[in-house]
Chain A
Amino acid sequence: MSNFEFDWSAVFQAVPALVKGAELTVVITFGGLFFGFIIGVTAGWMKLAGNMVSKAVANFYIEAIRGTPFIVQVMFLYFGVPLALGFRIPPLVAAIIALSLNAGAYIAEIVRGAIQSIDRGQTEAGRSIGLTAPQAMRYVIWPQAFRRMLPALGNQFIISLKDTSILVVIGVGELTRTGQEVIAYNFRAFEVWFAVAVIYFVMTFSVAQIIKYMERR
Chain B
Amino acid sequence: MIEITNLHKAYGELEVLKGIDVRIEAGEVVSVIGPSGSGKSTLLRCINQLEEATSGRIVVNGHDLCARGTNINLVRAEIGMVFQSFNLFPHLTVLENVTLGPRKVRRMPVKAANDVARRVLEKVGLSGKIDAYPSQLSGGQQQRVAIARSLALSPKAILFDEPTSALDPELVGEVLSVMRDLANEGMTMVVVTHEMSFARDVADRVIFMDGGHIVEDGPPKEVFKAPKSPRLKDFLRHVVQH
A residues bordering B, Cβ < 8 Å? 119, 121-122, 124-132, 135, 139-140, 143-144, 147
Contacts and interface: CB of A to CB of B under 8 A. Distances in A.
Nearest to B85: A121
Given A129-B150, A130-B73, A135-B105, 20 more contacts: A121-B87, A124-B81, A124-B83, A124-B87, A125-B81, A125-B88, A125-B146, A128-B80, A128-B81, A128-B150, A129-B76, A129-B101, A129-B153, A130-B74, A130-B76, A130-B101, A131-B73, A131-B105, A139-B100, A139-B104
Contact of B149 (A119, A124, A127, A129): A129
Interface in B25-77: 48, 50, 73-74, 76-77
B87 A125 contact: yes
B91 A144 contact: yes
Interface residues of B, number: 24
Interface of B: 48, 50, 73-74, 76-77, 79-81, 83, 85, 87-91, 100-101, 104-105, 146, 149-150, 153
A144 to B, nearest CB: 5
Given A125-B87, A127-B50, A135 B104 contact: yes
Contacts, number: 60
Contacts of A125: 81, 83, 87-89, 146
Contacts of B73: 127, 130-132
Contacts of B87: 119, 121-122, 124-125
Contacts of B91: 143-144, 147
